[in-house]
Amino acid sequence: MKETVMFGKCLNELLTVKGWSSARLSRELNLDSSYIRKWIKGERVPPIKSDYVEQIVNSLCSFNINEAENHKNDFLSALDNMEIDYNINGNINDILLKVLTKCQLYSLKFDASERMLKSSSSEEDIINLLFKIGNSNKKNTPIDYASGTNAKEYTIPSYIKGRQQILYAYTALLKAANKCSLPTNIITTFQSANYFFDGFKDLEECYDNEIEALLNKDFTIYQLLQLDTNVARSIKIVKKIIYHLGVDKKFFPFYFEQYFTMYPACEILIIENIGALICFSTLGAAYIDSCFFYNDSIIVKDLFNYYFMMIEETKPLLRIQTSSDDYFIERTELDKKNGDLLCIRSSPDMITIPYELWEKYLIRTIPNSIEREEHMKRIRITFNYFNEHIKRYKFFNICSIQSIEYLLQNKAYLYGSLYCQPEPEDIARHIENIIYLLRTYENFQLALINENQIELSPSIPWRVKGDYAVTIDMWYADINEDGIATGKFLTITESTIAESFRNYYFDIWNRITPKYRDKNYIISWLEDQLNWYKSENLLK
């Protein structure tokens, strides 16, 4: 079997297939739900001497004989998606018991090796070295060769060998930056054939956490990217962009127009006024394995200036609009283009709200008739092209179950919109329209993310149009002084990245529990919700 599957990940996938939450499993095992959540998050692993794994399997396999075959196929499909090997001839109880036991042993072994690794002197040496940067980065002074000053101290940089040690150095350098009181600029790259954190998931998480902490402290990060036509590699870039693009974060990716990757591998991390790591491969491999570390202030400044000049040879990967008007104009232009439309957001996409309902919403929220007509004009264009394209192209929409349940229970959209202020009958009309679209158009598909798969739901919504454009919507939570919702709206038109978003979208789609992307099930579920809502609100 694939040995890199942790117990928590495997358990979470199996719970998702079963349609259970961690709370439901805790009731089955008569345990506090915090234990289950810690298992899923990887914070704890069931002790090897306990019978928890056996209890879990017995609970998961508690279904009647008529359901057995379907459940077995769903479980085996989940194991296939995780690339886990198993003996297909066994019954499902034995298969899951063997798989979970192997994952349990691997996780326990992994935890033990991590504890040993964290106590190793090699890591401590690097971290101790780099932690000194933030507090004792001395200003360089001229070298007096005539008087016999030790030039070695000033001219020869520290040298780090081995990819794992370099990755520790990456994180430690970021930790040193986090100790600084004033924010500064950071330049980093991804230009090698392979992502340098491949195979080191825990170190990657530490690195990402430090990057997020720096962005939250108002550091500015410039990322220089070499793109190629390798979709899997581009998806890694995409995921990092989505991960780091907070609403008010200063994260700016740039790309070189030529399509190639550095071989042998070469990467840099430079933190202005603090330190630099210049990394490369010595074995002709696609991974970095050697690194020079500089904390001499003049060298760091020169390296920063050199790489910053490279930005002039790149193009920004993102086109940013800070006004909603500019965003809606650009989005309307994209809606005119041919191609599939793939949307993922917490709530159903705006196109699922019927046109006549938009008219009512805008009358309620935009008193100025001229401004209102401008909005309606763009909405008309969007609907006209949607009605034309849905006959030839696919429309896929992913949203959370919670958003629909919230809408029906609270008579308001989960994430309030300045323009969407519904009355009770409007909500019923919206749900009816979603059912109508599902029934009428073969190309219209809706998938729902349940509570067990909340990690699939993006923190920011995005859309892919064809294979050439991506829009990302990041609304600020508050309203500006003019009473207008503000935000940062991003467009990517670089073709390989747009194609990668498309592939990433279908990767998410295929990981959603099968019944929650089955059109007949979704229609039936929506009809049940609608009937309940109408009876509760005395609507016909």
pLDDT of residue 253: 92
Task: Please report the beta strands in 238-362, taking only residues with DSSP state E, as ranges in sequence order.
Answer: 250-256, 266-271, 275-280, 290-294, 314-316, 319-321, 341-344
Beta carbons of 270 and 304 less than 8 angstroms apart: yes
Instruction: Tell me the three state secondary structure of residue 475.
Output: strand
Confidence category of residue 123, pLDDT binned at 50, 70, 90: very low
pLDDT of residue 491: 87
Q: In whole angstroms, what is the distance from residue 449 CA to residue 346 CA?
A: 9
pLDDT attached to residue 255: 92
Check if the beta carbon of residue 458 is closer than 8 Å to that of residue 344. yes
Q: Report the distance separating Cα 197 and Cα 401, nearest Å.
A: 34
- Are 328 and 394 within 8 A, CB to CB? no
How confident is the model over 367-381, as a mean pLDDT?
Answer: 91
The stretch 476-505 carries a mean pLDDT of: 71
Provide the pLDDT confidence category of residue 454 given band limits of 50, 70 and 90.
Answer: confident
Residue 276 binned pLDDT confidence (cut-offs 50, 70, 90): very high
Q: Is 147 exposed, middle or buried (0-12, 13-18, 19+ CB in 10 A)?
A: exposed
Q: How confident is the model at residue 68 (pLDDT cuts 50, 70, 90)?
A: low
Q: How is residue 450 written in tokens? A: 């349940």
Report the distance separating Cα 429 and Cα 374, nearest Å: 24
Give 133's pLDDT tier (boundaries 50, 70, 90).
very low
Mean pLDDT, residues 48-58: 86
Q: How many Å apart are CA 212 and CA 229, to the nearest integer?
A: 28
Residue 475's pLDDT is 57
| Structure confidence by residue, pLDDT tens digits, 21-40 | 887 888 888 887 777 888 88
Helix, strand or coil for residue 278?
Answer: strand
Identify the pLDDT of residue 399: 93
CA dist., res. 193 & res. 74, Å (int): 35
Q: What is the pLDDT of residue 110?
A: 65
Could you tell me which of 207, 209, 241, 210 has the C-alpha nearest to residue 223? Answer: 241
**Which residues are paired to 354 by β-bridges?**
none
CA-wise closest residue to 534 among 421, 432, 388:
432
Task: Give the C-alpha separation, 324 to 314, whole Å.
Answer: 27
Q: Which pLDDT belongs to residue 41?
A: 81
Q: How big is the chain by its Cα radius of gyration, in Å?
A: 27
Q: Is 421 left (phi over 0), alpha (psi -120 to 50) or beta?
A: beta
Structure tokens at 90: 């066994």
Residue 308 pLDDT: 92
pLDDT at position 46: 87
Task: Tell me the sheet residues that pair with 222.
Answer: 187, 252
Highest mean pLDDT among 156-165, 194-203, 308-317, 432-441: 432-441
Across the chain, mean pLDDT equals 82
pTM recorded for the entire structure: 0.63
Residue 383: per-residue pLDDT: 94
Indicate if the pLDDT at residue 117 is higher than 80. no
CA atoms lying within 13 Å on the CB side of residue 515: 13
Predicted pLDDT at 302: 94
For residues 155 and 485, what is the distance between their CA atoms, to the nearest angstrom?
54
Please state the rounded mean pLDDT for residues 348-358: 94
Model confidence at 321, in pLDDT bands (50, 70, 90)? Answer: confident
Q: Which residues pair with residue 108 across a beta bridge? A: none
Per-residue pLDDT, 12: 87
Give the domains, in start order, of the chain with CATH numbers. 7-118 (1.10.260), 121-139+148-316 (3.30.870.10), 320-536 (3.30.870.10)
Q: What is the pLDDT of residues 87-110, one digit of tens each?
A: 777 788 888 988 998 888 888 776
The mean per-residue pLDDT over the stretch 309-321 comes to 87
Of all residues in the chain, what percent carry a pLDDT higher than 70? 84
Identity of the amino acid at 276: A
